Structure 1
Amino acid sequence: MVDEEHRRERRQRVLKGASIISGITNSEISCTIRNQNSGRAELKVPVESRVPERFVVYVPTDGVAYQAVLRWRRNDRIGVQFIGTLPKPRLHYGSA
Structure 2
Amino acid sequence: MAENELRIQHRQRVLKGATILTGITNSEVKCTVRNMHANGAELKVPIDARVPDDFLLYVPIDGIGYKALVRWRRDDRIGVEFTGTEPKPHWHYG
Name the CA distance, whole Å, in 1 between partners of 2:29 and 2:93: 11
Aligned to 2:6: 6
Query: Are residue 82 (structure 1) and residue 82 (structure 2) matched?
Result: yes
Q: Which residue of 2 aligns with 1:36?
A: 36
The CA RMSD measured in Å over matched residues stands at 1.2
Query: Partners of 2:62 and 2:41 in 1: how far apart?
Result: 14
Consecutive unaligned residues in structure 2, runs of 5 or more? none
Q: Which runs of 5+ in 1 are unaligned?
A: none
TM-score by length of 1: 0.91
**Structure 1 outlier segments of 4+, above 6 Å:** none
SS where residue 68 of structure 2 aligns?
A: strand
Aligned-residue identity in percent = 60
The separation in 2 between residues aligned to 1:30 and 1:41, in whole angstroms, is 15
Is residue 56 of structure 1 aligned with residue 86 of structure 2? Answer: no
Any idea what the Cα deviations from partners look like across 1:3-35, whole Å, max 9, x if unmatched? 322211110000000000003322000000000
The offset of 1:82, in angstroms, is 0.3
Give the structure-2-normalised TM-score: 0.93
Aligned to 1:46: 46
Which letter maps to 2:32? T
Aligned to 2:70: 70
C-alpha separation between the residues in 2 aligned to 1:51 and 1:85? 19
